[in-house]
Amino acid sequence: MRKFNALLFMFLAAVLVFTSCGEDPEPDNPVAISGIPATATIPAGGTVGPVTATVTAPDGLASFEVKKDGAVVTTVPLNGETSATQTFTYTATPADAGKNLVFEFTARDKNGSVATVTHVLTVQAEETTVRVTTNITGKVTWVASKTYILAGRIAVVDGAELTIEPGTIIKGEVGSGANATALIIARGAKIFANGTAEKPIIFTSVADEIASGQVSSPNLEPTITGLWGGLLVLGRAPGSFAGDVTEVQIEGIPASDPNGRYGGNQPADNSGVIKYISIRHGGANIGEGNEINGLTLGGVGSGTVIENVEVIGNQDDGIEFFGGTVNVKNAIVWNAGDDAIDTDQAWSGTLDNFIVLCGSETDHALEIDGPEGSLLAAHTVKNGSVRGSTAAELGDFRDGARGTFENIYFFGFPDPAATAGRGDLSLSGDKTLANFASGDLKFNVLQVTSPAAVTLTTVFRNGTHVHASDVALHANTIGATKSAFAGWSWSAVSGNLNDLK
């Protein structure tokens, strides 16, 4: 963002020797000013100059004065020189944007003769769209008065900080494969996306005509997916990786990009703050059957704050955790193209108060994978409401899944017996079953509104039914607190949460 400086005039007088020969000047010798152009144009916040004015007066100069729009800005006294130079520089203020400024330069001699030159400075209107084409270094702020266009894979690099004002809109251009657009918060970088309930921060596609202050898209349906990539936050917290390596490359980012590395040995690593953000229409395809998640959290540490996050219409997963220790509170995923919530590589944080709204393409509401290395950390997922669809499964727990899943309400899923196993919660693999038997995989207080005549054992497989109960629609006593999403989320504003208690 260009910084607007205060009004700045620099007048540096270079006094020249008198050119008079001592005789009385002729009465018609004029005062003259040269070197000032009649017009100039600068961008908002830009600077004109330095411009050097040369003033002459055979009778000796008395003063040089500058006015801006009729008001005197400065007066420089002179001491009878017959010639002098003055340097003029002006930096536009925010109030100047889109205006024509009139500067008057006036020279007077000792006999009262006057010369005036007028300069009209056109300051262009402030840009409202900024196309981001290079990685972000240093400390950068994106403001709500502008829309930021991601022109490619943009990384906030190690040591850099990106601050995003409440109400800011960020849009990704169309791209696929290595050219898929995405915003990466690399290890050692920080993002401060502090939206508010009144002014959420929105990540969306360039096809979206949404403007700051709007919550619902005026032209895109929430089912439209894959128009850009997504948001990736990467940190130095540990994960359980194959071969017990300490760091790996995140899926969705080419191995040639070092900003895609995540993992380490810093559980309390801090990647910044994310609050009140909505991520929409992402999941661009980067390879056969491989898309970018809406929000990817790779090795993100517990020092990072993530609260009030919405992911809508993502072609791949809504939110996916790859190791790390970060906690997430108040999350909603609507119309995920694959899994709504996906956990991998021994993520060991907590997801508290979440809503899943399955779409027609959603595979699993919950996909829970076990560790890939020897680190056996586990996570907690609690206080959720999950609305199914005709093709979705409640959950797939596999590959040695571990963790605690409690106070979760499911409804709107099909009969598993009539849909080739869709609509159930299942455990797969010997390690997963062993973890369930030992208590390393734990279920506590699950509720479901099942289709008519469908038993709990049909929905909750592998003995998990003992931790579940069947309730009538809207008779659930557990689940998410949907008021946390009121006002700022498209899901709530659209009325799509009305059927949740």
Task: Compute the chain's Rg from CA coordinates.
Answer: 32
Strand-strand pairing, 32-34 and 47-56:
antiparallel
- End-to-end Cα spacing for the chain: 44
Query: CA torsion sign, 430 to 435 to 437 to 441?
Result: negative
The secondary structure of 474-494 as a DSSP string is T--S-S--GGGGTTT-HHHHT
What does the pLDDT read at residue 262?
A: 98
Which residues contact residue 82 at a Cβ distance below 8 angstroms, ignoring those fewer than 6 apart?
16, 18, 19, 20, 56, 57, 58, 59, 60, 61
- The three-state secondary structure class of 426 is strand
Q: What is the structure's pLDDT at 285?
A: 79
Tell me the CATH class for 14-123: mainly beta
Alpha-helical regions (H) of 415-468: 430-438, 456-459
pLDDT at 176: 76
Q: How many C-beta atoms lie closer than 10 Å to residue 367's C-beta?
A: 21
pLDDT at residue 15, as a whole number: 28
Element (H or E) spanning 452, and its range? none
**CA neighbor of 268 nearest in space, from 299, 236, 235, 303:** 303
How many of the other CB atoms lie within 10 Å of CB of 29?
16
CA distance 423 to 449: 11
Q: How far apart are CA 50 and CA 64, in angstroms?
A: 17
Q: Are 391 and 362 in contact (CB under 8 A)?
A: yes
Positions in the chain short of pLDDT 70: 1-29, 287-290
* φ, ψ for residue 457, nearest 5 deg: -70, -20
Q: Tell me: the pLDDT tens digits for 389-401?
A: 998 999 999 999 9
Domain ranges of the chain: 14-123, 129-493
Mean pLDDT, the chain, integer: 92
Q: What is the pLDDT of residue 175?
A: 82
Residue 405: what pLDDT? 98
CA distance 493 to 58: 76
What whole-number distance in Å separates Cα of residue 210 and Cα of residue 213? 9
* Cis peptide, bond prior to residue 43, ω within 30 of zero: no
Asked whether the domain spanning 129-493 has the same topology as the one spanning 14-123, the reply is no
Per-residue pLDDT tens over the stretch 107-146: 999 999 999 999 999 999 888 999 999 999 999 999 999 9
Q: Is 94 helix (H, G, I), strand (E, B) or coil?
A: helix
pLDDT, residue 10, reads: 34
CATH of 129-493 given 2.30.30, 2.160.20, 1.10.3470, 2.40.50:
2.160.20
